[in-house]
Structure formats: C-alpha cells, structure tokens
Structure 1
Amino acid sequence: MSLRGIWVFSLPGATHGILFSKKYPSVENRARILNKDGYVKLPTDDAMREAVLAELGIVHPIEMFVESRDSCSRKLQKPVFEITTSNGILWPVVLYEKFGLLLCCLPLVESVERPPVIDVLGISLGYALLLQMIDVIGPVQQGVDETHPQMVDLHSYLCQAVPFGTLTDIEQATVFDAISGRIDSSYVVSDVKPPSWRPISVKCKANISFRVTEQIQAVLYNRPDVWDVFQIYGSVSCKADLEHPAPLIAVHLSVGKDQPRLQNILVNSCVSMVDDENRTKGEGHRTITFIPPRERFVLCKYTAAISPTQLSAPNTSTTDPFQTWFSDLPQLHHVLSDGGKPGIARISASEGALRNDGLSRRGEIIMKVKLSKGKNMFEYCEVQIPFHNRGPIIYKENTQSTGEIVITNDKRTLAWRIGQKFPSRSHEVTLEAKLKFGNRSSIIPGQDDPFCVGLNSFAMIYFKIPDYTHTSATIDQRSLRVQPNAKPKVTV
C-alpha cells in the first residue's frame, strides 16, 4: 500500500507552521492514472495546512457554521477526514494529533469510485505509520523547525520505512537497526523462517526485560447495604534482544498464594500457547510461550476481581464495614467525618461532611486517610475533592498533618498532595479545612452535576506505588526457557 503524501504541521501559535513534508511523485502519477477524471492534485504545503486546520475548526470562531464541515448529514469517520482544497476534495486524509503536532498522510485509493473505509487498507496502515512517526519525533519544544534533529531523524526513518511511498516495515526499532547496520546477515540463508513481526535479526547482547504494571479502580461506600467495588487491570510488557531470527521463549506468570486469580487474560498475537498450571485454589501460574518482536511490546493483559465475600473480614458480625473491608486490602483507607461519625461515599469521602446540601457558600472538611497493608512508598499520592455545584473556591483555611493543600486552576477542586510516604508509625494523615465559595452564577453551563450532591458526592485519590503489584503477579525468572539454548540476562 502506498501514500501520496506525508505532512507534520504545528498547531496555531507556533513560529513554524510546516515542520515536515514529503510527497511521492511516482505514487502521484499512479493516482492520476487510476483516479482518471476524479483525480485531485495535491495543494501546496501552506494550502494543505490551512485546509486541515479549517476542517478541524481550529482557525474559525467556535460560533462559525461551515456547511461542509458541520452539517448533520455528514458522516464522521475519525481519524479519516475530507479536506476541501482549491483543487477539490482530498480523501481519505488520516490525521493524528499529539505533543502539539498534527500528523497527516494521504493513502492512495486505487479506484475511481470512493470505496467503504473498511476496504481501504492504506487507512489502517497510514494510521499505524503516524503512531510510529510521533514516537520517532517525541515531545518537541517551542521554536522547532524543519532543520531540527528530530525532523532529521524522521526523514531518515521515512526513507527506510516508506521508500518511494510504499510502506515496508514501519516498526521504528527494526528501521533504526537497519539504518545503523546492526542486521545480522548470518541467518539470511538459513533454514529458519522468521515470523512477519520479526523480519530481521540483529547483533546484540542477549537481554530480556519484563515489566508488570497494575492499575486499581475502587469505589468505596462504607455502607452495609452496598458492596464496595474493587477491580484490578494489569499488563505485562516485554523487550527481548536475542540474535536468533525466531527465538521461542517460555515463561511463567505467577501469582502469590491466597491472592486474586488472574482473569480475562488477553495475549499478544505473537503468543503461540498459554497453559494453566497449578489450578489449586488460591495459587497457580500460567506458562506463556511466544516468539517476541524486536521492539518492546505488551505480552498480555489481565484483570483480577475481588468478590463481595472476599471484601468482608472473617468477622462478618461487625457493624463497622470500614474496619472489615479495608483490613483485607493493601490500599488506602479514606475517612471523612462529620461530627465524629465516619462517613464514606465512593472512593473516599462525601461532601455531606460539609453539613449542608452541597449548595452552601461555606463548608468545613474533616478527613482522615489511612494506609492499610502495602508498601509505604509512593511516587505520588494526591486526594482531590471536587465541588461541582458551588461557585469557585475563593478562600481556604486548612490544617493538615502532612503534605500541602492547593486549589486547581479552575477553582473547583481542592487537592491534597500527601507526598511520597505516610508516617511510619500510624500510617495515617488528617486534614481539616474551611472553605468559602464564590457566586454560583460563575459556573459555566454543563460543568455542574445535579447528581453529585449529598451522599452522591465523592472525593478521589490518585497514587502510584513503584515496584509493587497488588496481586503479587510477577515473572518467574527461574522458569524462563529460550530455544535455541541461550543464557540471556533477565530483568523484571
């Protein structure tokens, strides 16, 4: 599949609008022959940028109605757009925005009539190319132009990945290995047939790196009639530097005893086999066999859920669900008290502690956050208390045992930045704050939330613990096997 052109534009406000442009005359000649009377000539780079920004509505006032862009009869097929130029309509233009850059490409459509989007292979390949291009460029600073080293690297990448407009291998790790001459030619004439996702072999030291990451989403009610919700989402990524063109790796993904079992495991397409072993209750591991690609990739994703019976402590007769629920989780306790009575709504606390219906212009918060089991070392830990239905926060008076209190830029959220560690003895921090709110007339329509008042209001806590997983899921280094035999350095 071929591309007629590739562009990298900066968003309005930057010094240089056009950072990169590459057109392919040979592909353009094919488009002229294949599209016949429907052929639309590519505009200049400046005209292309203006047309793209106009299509996205960036240069026009928000109130301005453009029939070709805003009509209800028009079908939206993002990231595919129709770009109206002085020469005619260009389709399908694939767009992707990141780091303040706008990346565009125009795949070749080999027919006179417009086919369905799903039938144009160049759209998915073009979008995949844009994702690789933004990884090559990375974050850019103000004042970057077409001569910047990041743009030079992009030019080198495209010369290898898209020669004469035809996509070959667009994976940046493979492309830059080919550019740097690290390709191992000793396997070229061998009988080993490499898989399509590992087209070349490189000379390198044998290293295999695994990374296990988990995200926890919880909703804590502290009510005997409502079960708390606790869900874990995990992923295992891998980077394998091995010289063989098709190395076969087998490794165990293990979990600790009496830990939540891994569920809904989704594996990468390079995985050839997943075996369940040790199916005994409360323990077990899975053997994953795969041929890795050259780049770092997500080997598998999984979930781990805790049932309502697991959320309760053995002593189910207790009347304090706070104590019973949290005693089993290596998570954070969230307590917001009102007159000495513990009260939790959702993931930490309720605006009910403000002793009003959520509409008063004054309020008082008393909060206690306690760390239960788990590692007392955070990369960050922050509690956010949003106020959806009040005016902006214009005054605060606070006393906290640790951390700092800040008001977000929109003046609608109180943020408590606890820091990187809880007190070593109590594992508990407290906050008392008095707030004063401005006039509710300053609330922009659509920003209020009539549902989030009283017991339906909530506070949120965001935290990250390095080198820790709640399920104790890990890669067993001793179980790793590589064929043909190799002794790589393994890190987890």
Structure 2
Amino acid sequence: MSIRALWIISLDKSDHVSLRFSKRFSTVEHRAKLLAGSGYVPVPDEDVVLQHLLTELGLSDPDKPFVSARDNCSHCPRSPALELRLHGSAHDTLWPVLAILQRPLILACLPLVDVPIKPRPPLASLLSVSKGLTFLAGLQTFLLSSGGKPDPEGLASRLAMLPSVLLQICPLGTPLDVPALGPPASPTGPTGAGNQKIPAWKTGLHRGRAVVNVALTEVVRSMQYGNPSRQDLWDVYGTVTCKCEVEGVLPNVTVTLTLPANGSPLQDILVHPCVTSLDTSILTATSVENDSSAFSGPYKFPFSPPLEQFRLCSYTSQVPVPPILGSYQLKTEDGHLHISATLKLHESVKNSFEYCEAHLPFFNRDQMSTVDVKVSHGQLDVSKEKNLLVWIIGQKFSKSREVSLEGKISFGGPVPGPTDPLCSGLTAYIKLYFKVPDLTLSGCSVDQHSVQVYSTAKAKVFTSRELQSKEYFIWNCTGSAPVSSGQMML
C-alpha cells in the first residue's frame, strides 16, 4: 500500500481553514500513471484539492445547504472514501480520497489503488483504503496526542517535525508498520507485554482504570414527496465507535452486534484495520445485490484497539418504513402563502426523543411581514430575518402520535430574504432534526455483557445506542422537487 499525496488542514472553532502541510510522492504518482493508463487523473494544486475537499465535507459554505455536485440524488457518498470531481465531471475524479476530521485538524490522503477502478471496486475489497485510514489515524495520534487537544505550540512543533517523521515511517510514500494482509488467529486469553513490538501508531500505553465505551449510532435519511407519482426514498446506515482504555501493548477486545429475530441482515459492512479476524460471510451482504440470505448475526468483531476513540465498523440496513411520515402543502391565495403540514410518528418508534424539530425555510421571497401559524403540539419560533419557522416538537409527540401545523404567511418585508436556486416558486421543504436515545431502526444492539475484554485488569464496560436524522426532507406536494429514479444509497 502506498500514498500518492497527503494533506493536513487546520480547522478552528469559526470554521476557518488553512493548509498546514502537504506532501506528494512522485514515485507513487508515477506508478499511478502507469496503472491507470488513459484513465489517469493527476493530483491538482493544493488550493484546488482544498476547495473540493471542503465542499465534500460541507465546510466550504455552511450557508449554502445544497451543492449540486455533492447533494444531488445521483451522487452516492461512501464516507470516509470521498470522491472529488475536479471539474464537475465523473471522468475527472480523484478517488478514494480518505479524510479524518477531528478539530482542530482535517487529515486527508489519496492512496494508490492498484486494481482497475472502472467499474469501481467495492471499498471492502481495497486493502489500500483500510491501511490508508490506519496511516491517517496514526498521524492523528502523533499530532494531537492521546488527549486529542494539544496546545498550539505543541501542534506547531509536531508539524515542523513531520517531514523527518515521514522519512522514517513512510519512506517513498509506503507506510511502515501497517497491519499486513491476512488475519492472525483469534486470541483466547490475556496477552502480556513480553517482547511484543509496540505499533508505530501507539504513542504510549494506557495506565489506570480499565474502561471500554461502545456507542452504536444509526442515521436515517429520507426524501418524502406526498405525491403518488413520485417514490418516497429513505435509507439507514450505522456506525459503531469505541474508546478502549485498557492496559497492555496489544490488549484484545471482542464486540458483538446482535439483531432481533425478524431483523434484516446488515449490509455494506466496513471494519477498522485493527480487527484481527472476521468471518468472510459478514462482508458479503451488499445493498446492491440485496441478498436476503445474507449473514444475519451475531456479528463478532475481535480487535486490538488503538488508544484514541475510533470507528470499529459501519453498515447499512434495509428498513420497511421511515420513522416519521410527513405531508406538506403550500398554496398561494389572496396574497398569502397558506401552509398545512402533518407529521406522524410510526408505531414501531417509541415516543421519546432527546429533541425533535422541524424547520420550514422560505427562499427567494421578500422578508416575512406577518405570520399567523398555529401548531397542535410544541411551540413555534419565527425568524423573519431568515424567513424561517422552527417548529419545536420537543421530546414527545402528542398521544395520537400525530402533530400538525396550519396557517398563513405574508411576505412584504423591507429587504429580500435568503435565496436558493433550487427552491423557486412553490418548491419548498420541511427539514426534520431529531435524535432518539436507546433506539435503532434495524434493531441492532450491543449487549454490555457480550463485550469481552482480555486484559491484565478487569474493565468496566459501557454501551449505548441512538437514532439520528440527517438530510430528512418532506417536500411540498404542490410544487416541483428533486427526484431520483433509484433507491437512496450511501
């Protein structure tokens, strides 16, 4: 595994970015050119890469929520392997650009893919992706230390040392001490330090109380149209993150994911390179093939954890319905915009939120002048400067599991409101933001007692799970809306 280019970018609290370090490996780039042939795409200048990378991460223009190259329905992001379309063309694309974002840094690299990329191979089959992420994680530990928040002087000192460090750990663009291909045997008991070599990515050993935290987060996206001629779309993907503070050079932990008896098998599973052994059938289920006979668990992941918090695995899941079904209707009458909206909580979802809000923005109009809108549940906040209604539903729906909003708005303010090229005329949407603790739509869970820790000290284990929304849209059924002919995919 080799790396064509490396970038390190600083990101402060106000989202100001600057390139702190970049490195290209000309020998690896020469190999990339030979392997790709006529399909070779050279690495552009740093400012071009920075512009496209920040756009893909949603950091280039936070006031512009929709960017066609990133957010249109034909674009299928597979984080953390990003696709940078340099001139808006699929034929002029850098892939896979790997990125890790942990303030105050963004670390990114472009690994060499030594297999044909057309048709694009699945990420799970590319060793360069998992090893590239391991390389970035090691640099992250070096630059930010195990605490994750070095002082500015410490970070500047480590960045100054980086050229000489790369000569030692990544000569000619090929990282050393990266896990080799082929899993070792699964451990059966405690592992002592003995003469084991400390991996290059571990800057030290943990001393103190042994604690293991496992957090399972599922994210649901949805595009609902309220129109029989348009197919509603939704998808669910999950991540399992771990923070393991256990003693030993190579301590061993096993995390097991389980599904309910009627649960759909997990798909598109990607695992961290620290996983030491894995049943190959776990990796075969993909959302493209939609094979109902796929492995349905339990999913066991034995690993030797790094010091910092890391993503153990990610997956997608097929669920029959989205958690919240909505309808939204706008019409113009007597100089007013009449609004009607209904949100219904599906019976399979418990009525207990950490928060739930619905945002109704109105673009390409004058500022709101009068607002006469009522809600059946929760409260409504009005921002006339932003032409925005924030419907705060709160921590529960009503007992009927259905809430509604009705009213009318006039636009005649002294200055124009915000603009958006997509939302003209009656093209408008409601965007939902919600988080549900102790719930996953797939039913996937991690039992605290199923987490096994092989270490010199008994570890305290904590597990949690939650459901979050992302890009959850309900479009006005009387206006036009962006439509995809296929299923939403990661």
C-alpha deviations, 1:11-58, integer Å up to 9, x for none? 99x9xxxxxx9xxxxxxxxxxxxxxxxxxxxxxxxxxxxxxxxxxxxx
Q: 1:238 aligns with which of 239, 242, 246?
A: 242
Cα distance in 2, alignment partners of residues 463 and 212 from structure 1: 16
1:449 counterpart letter in structure 2: P
Give the one of 363, 388, 405 matched to 2:363.
388
Aligned to 1:432: 406
Structure 1: gaps of 5 or more residues: 1-5, 15-20, 22-72, 81-95, 105-120, 139-149, 171-185, 312-328, 336-348
Alpha-carbon distance in 1 for matches of 2:314, 2:384: 36
CA distance in 2, matches of 1:491, 1:97: 25
- In the alignment, which residue of structure 1 is the partner of 2:303? 290
Is this contact kept in 2: 1:237–1:298, CA < 8 A? yes
Instruction: Confirm or deny that 1:379 pairs with 2:392.
Output: no
- Tell me if the contact between 1:251 and 1:477 (Cα under 8 Å) persists in the aligned partners: no
Larger radius of gyration between Structure 1 and Structure 2: 1
Note the C-alpha offset of 1:451. 5.8
**In 2 relative to 1, CA 133–283 (structure 1 residues): closer, same or farther, beyond 3 Å?**
closer
Answer yes or no: is 1:259 the counterpart of 2:263: yes
Residue in structure 2 matched with residue 346 of structure 1 by the alignment: none
Q: Distance in 2 between matches of 1:475 and 1:437?
A: 51
Tell me: CA distance 1:300–1:472, structure 2 relative to 1, closer, same or farther (3 Å): same
Shift of 1:408: 3.4
CA offsets 1:358-393 (integer angstroms, 9 cap, x no match) = xx8411222222222312222221111222232221
Which residue of structure 2 aligns with residue 227 of structure 1? 231
CA displacement at 1:291 relative to structure 2: 1.0
The answer to whether the 8 A contact 1:257-1:282 is kept is: no
3-state SS of 2:235 partner: strand
Query: Over the residues paired in the alignment, what is the CA RMSD in angstroms?
Result: 4.7
Residue 326 (structure 2) pairs with residue 334 (structure 1): yes
**Structure 2 counterpart SS, 1:438:** strand
Could you tell me how far 1:215 is from its partner in structure 2? 1.0
Name the aligned partner's letter for residue 231 of structure 1.
D
Query: Aligned residue for 2:373?
Result: 398
For 1:460 and 1:411, how far apart are their aligned partners in 2? 15
- How big is each residue's C-alpha offset from its partner over 1:82-103, in whole Å with a ceiling of 9 and x where there is no partner? xxxxxxxxxxxxxx9998x899
Task: Output the amino acid matched with 2:448.
Answer: Q
Distance (whole Å) between structure 1 residues aligned to residue 46 and residue 163 of structure 2: 29
Please give the per-residue CA displacement for 1:264-307, whole angstroms capped at 9, x wherever unaligned.
1111121222324799679422111211101111111111134x
Residue aligning to 1:415: 390
Q: What is the CA–CA distance in structure 2 between the aligned matches of 1:479 and 1:126, rounded to whole Å?
A: 27
In structure 2, C-alpha distance between the alignment counterparts of 1:156 and 1:187, rounded to whole Å: 32
The residue that corresponds to 1:321 in the other structure is none
Q: CA 1:369 to 1:7, structure 2 compared with 1: closer, same or farther past 3 Å?
A: closer
**Most deviating of 288-297 and 195-204:** 195-204
Q: Of Structure 1 and Structure 2, which has the larger fraction of its residues in helix? A: 1
Q: Secondary structure at the match of 2:270?
A: strand
Distance 2:101 2:250 in 1: 35
Quick one: which amino acid aligns to residue 219 of structure 2? Q
Amino acid at match of 2:357: E
Unaligned runs of 5+ in 2: 1-7, 21-43, 52-99, 108-131, 170-190, 286-291, 464-490
| Aligned ranges 1:98-177 → 2 under 5 Å | 132-133=143-144, 151=151, 154-155=152-153, 166-167=164-165
Between the aligned partners of 2:303 and 2:102, the Cα distance in structure 1 is: 32
**1:354 equivalent in structure 2:** 331
**What is the CA distance between 1:160 and its match in structure 2?**
7.8
Equivalent in the alignment of 1:301: 314
Question: What is the aligned partner in structure 1 of residue 472 from structure 2?
Answer: none
Q: What SS does the aligned partner of 2:429 have?
A: coil
Q: Is the contact made by 2:143 and 2:155 (CA closer than 8 Å) also made in structure 1?
A: no
Q: TM-score, normalised by structure 2?
A: 0.54
Where does residue 204 of structure 2 map in the other structure?
200
Distance of aligned partners of 1:295 and 1:409 in 2 relative to their CA distance in 1, 3 Å threshold: farther
**Does structure 2 retain, via aligned residues, the 8 Å contact 1:361–1:390?**
no
* 2:485 matches 1:481: no
Q: Displacement, 1:453?
A: 4.0
Give the match for residue 59 of structure 1.
none
Higher relative contact order (CA 8 A, sep 6+): 2
Q: Look up the match of 2:41.
A: none
Q: How many angstroms apart in 2 are the aligned matches of 1:435 and 1:489?
A: 55
Distance 1:254 1:228, change over 3 A: same
Partner of 1:112: none
C-alpha contact 1:390 1:440 (8 A) present in aligned 2: no
Matched AA of 1:203: R
SS where residue 272 of structure 1 aligns?
A: coil
Quick check: 1:211 aligned with 2:215?
A: yes
1:162 CA displacement: 6.7
CA–CA distance in 2 between the matches of 1:361 and 1:491?
A: 57
Aligned to 1:76, the other structure's residue is in SS state helix
Letter in 2 for 1:244: G
Paired residues of 1:256 and 1:283 also in contact (CA < 8 A): no
Q: Is the 8 A contact 2:252 2:453 kept in 1?
A: yes
What's the offset of the Cα at 1:484? 5.6
Change (3 A) 1:449 1:125: closer
Number of matched pairs: 324
Equivalence for 1:274: 278
Tell me: CA distance 1:207–1:463, structure 2 relative to 1, closer, same or farther (3 Å): same
SS at match of 1:231: strand
Q: 1:484 to 1:396 in 2, by over 3 A?
A: closer
Deviation digits for residues 448-470 of structure 1 (CA, Å, limit 9, x no counterpart): 4366544x532221111122211
Q: Match of 1:463, as an amino acid?
A: F
1:460 is matched with 431
Tell me the distance in 2 between the aligned counterparts of 1:400 and 1:366: 10
Pair 1:203–1:167, CA change in 2 (3 A) = same
